[in-house]
Chains A and B, each alone.
Chain A
Amino acid sequence: MSVAACPECDAQVKIEPDTRVSEIVECGDCRSELEVTSLEPATLAQAPEVEEDWGE
């Protein structure tokens, strides 16, 4: 398991071993929704806002 810095509050966010790029994780400290932008090294960005045309 690796960790990455939350871009919102700088807390260390745990990245589980089965995490994939473009997956959404939550910062345990500030509860921001974060997108995993890379795995080696693990990096995070703020997750995109839900858009009007999103769905199944």
Chain B
Amino acid sequence: MSSPEPSITVLASRVRTEEKRIMTALEKRSVAFSYLDARDLSVTLGGSLPAHRVVLNREIGQYRASYAATALEAAGATVVNTAAATAICGDKWLTSMALQRRGLPTPRTALAMTPNAALAALDEIGYPAVIKPLVGSWGRLVTPVEDPRIAATVLEHIAALPSPQSHIVYVQEMIPKLDRDIRVIVVGGEVLGAIHRSSSEWRTNVARGGASEFLALSEEDAKLAVTAADAVGAEIAGVDLVVDDEGMTSVLEVNHRVEFAGFQEAQGNRVDVADRIVRYMLTKGAT
């Protein structure tokens, strides 16, 4: 007798193109699934959630995603990505540490405990550099600083922000690169494909209007992306690579709730990302 079909929960509070495609892919495979609005979730410590045994965490808010994952895991659920991976990927400093620990090429990075200390960190890193918020995505509030004068002004603004976490400053060398970077999607340790992202502005995020174009990834970069996803523990990952003007590839970051609408468009029929995510989830739900 075959095992019963696993029940998958899609956790999100905003259903966008990607979540919709994933749910459609689940339906196409006749997989029993439910949608859980993360805003409605509460978990009692010591309690159990039999209805949410295998959870695909697509929550858009990092704090909610991270706490939901820890709470659901505590209640016995299998969550993809895991709470540990969600915490690492959602924090640029934790990501940088994980990449560096694995010995992967990644831009030189420093963390300063105050905006004032960030000036010394920037002197150490060298100019031009980039100041990034620890949490957040889509290139939001990522600020290039060309020299100490601009840095001092930006840091004054950071010091005026209300959140204590904003005062912990993440600074990174700016990689001299072409006008594009690489997004690789890795699922279950396999590369689904890669795209070039280019933009008329210095940030190439698709969310900022960057254009996507199919890229045949080199074997070396594919291995780098898979290792980067593994370094942060992400089973489903959007790995961002950047190639400098000398042709050296570095890992910039790993996204745990990968957006793939632009990626899918650039890939055409080469891969069905939503279906590959579903196929991977089925391996987690096998009973």
Closest to B60 in A: A54
B24 partner residues in chain A, CB cutoff 8 A: 18
Where chain A touches its partner, the secondary structure class is: loop
Can you list, as one digit per residue, whether each of B189-214 has a CB less than 8 Å from chain A (1) or not (0)?
00000000000000000010000000
Q: How far is the CA of A24 from the CA of B19 in the complex (A)?
A: 12
Chain B: number of interface residues, binned into ranges: 20 to 34
B136 partner residues in chain A, CB cutoff 8 A: 52-55
Contact between chains at A56 and B138 (CB < 8 Å): yes
* B140 close to chain A: CB less than 8 A: yes
B258 to chain A: closest CB distance in Å?
Answer: 6
A23 partner residues in chain B, CB cutoff 8 A: 15-16, 20
B12 partner residues in chain A, CB cutoff 8 A: 22
Contact between chains at B61 and A54 (CB < 8 Å): yes
Identify which of residues 25-56 in chain A touch chain B, using a CB-to-CB cut-off of 8 Å: 35, 48, 51-56
* A21 close to chain B: CB less than 8 A: yes
**Number of A-B residue pairs having CB atoms within 8 Å of each other in the complex:** 60
A53-B135 in contact given A20-B35, A21-B35, A23-B20 (Cβ < 8 Å): yes
Contact between chains at A55 and B20 (CB < 8 Å): no
Contact between chains at A21 and B15 (CB < 8 Å): yes
Query: What is the interface size of chain A, counting residues whose CB is below 8 A from a CB of the partner?
Result: 14
Contact between chains at B61 and A51 (CB < 8 Å): yes
A56-B37 in contact given A22-B12, A22-B15, A23-B20 (Cβ < 8 Å): no
A11 to chain B: closest CB distance in Å?
Answer: 22
* B259 close to chain A: CB less than 8 A: yes
Which positions in B face A, CB cutoff 8 Å? 12-16, 19-20, 23-24, 35, 37, 60-63, 90, 133, 135-138, 140, 163, 207, 238, 255-259
**9 CB-based A-B contacts, threshold 8 Å:** A21-B37, A24-B14, A48-B13, A53-B61, A53-B63, A54-B61, A54-B62, A55-B138, A56-B138
The 6 closest A-B pairs by CB, nearest first: A55-B137, A53-B62, A22-B15, A56-B255, A23-B15, A56-B259
